[in-house]
Amino acid sequence: RSLGARQLQICTVRRRQPRVLLPFEVALQRLEEMRALMQPDDAREFSIAVSDVVRRYIEERFSVTATHRTTEEFLHDLLESSHAPLARHRALLSEFLQACDLVKFAGMSLTLQDMESLHHSARAFVLETAKPDELITNSAPPAPETAHA
């Protein structure tokens, strides 16, 4: 084969490999998929699913155990943790997770508007925490380009 054909083959193979999604991208994609469950008859399934998306996102993004724990355990540990970016959202997380728990465990029903509100809260949390808060201070600034004569 010619060199040009080999390079074309390599470029084609590279294009086929999907990029690994970041935790916030996965969470937003899954939240969008949850819209299909936004029917009053599916309130319990919706609240479980949307809560699971947020909890898994927290684990991936902040390296904090959020699944397989009660909401109270998670929020208590969050209050005492040093995860400042996550702790800043404690009130929103508390309200969101407790609302999901009421549907999941107490059988509370949700209107479409309630589901929209939960979905919006989850999406807002993911978007607000998607990027690291701290700037990378240890990296050296790029070297200035010099003109070659």
pLDDT at 42: 94
Nearest to 106 by CA among 12, 17, 43: 43
The residue-averaged pLDDT of 34-51 equals 95
**Mean pLDDT, all residues of the chain:** 82
Q: What is d(CA 135, CA 47) in angstroms, rounded to the nearest whole number? A: 35
Question: Tokens 């969008």 correspond to what residue?
Answer: 32
Q: How many CB atoms lie within 10 A of CB 147?
A: 4
Position with higher pLDDT, 141 vs 87: 87
Position with higher pLDDT, 85 vs 49: 49
Return the SS3 of 110.
coil
| pTM (predicted TM-score) | 0.75
| Inter-CA distances, 89 with 3, 94, 109, 148, Å | 54, 8, 25, 51
Calculate ∠ Cα 15-60-20, nearest 5°: 0
pLDDT grade for 143, boundaries at 50, 70 and 90: very low
Q: What is d(CA 14, CA 106) in angstroms, rounded to the nearest whole number? A: 50
Q: What is d(CA 126, CA 32) in angstroms, rounded to the nearest whole number? A: 12
Q: What is the DSSP letter of 35?
A: G
pLDDT over 70 for what percent of the chain? 76
Lowest mean pLDDT, pick from 14-28, 41-55, 118-132? 14-28
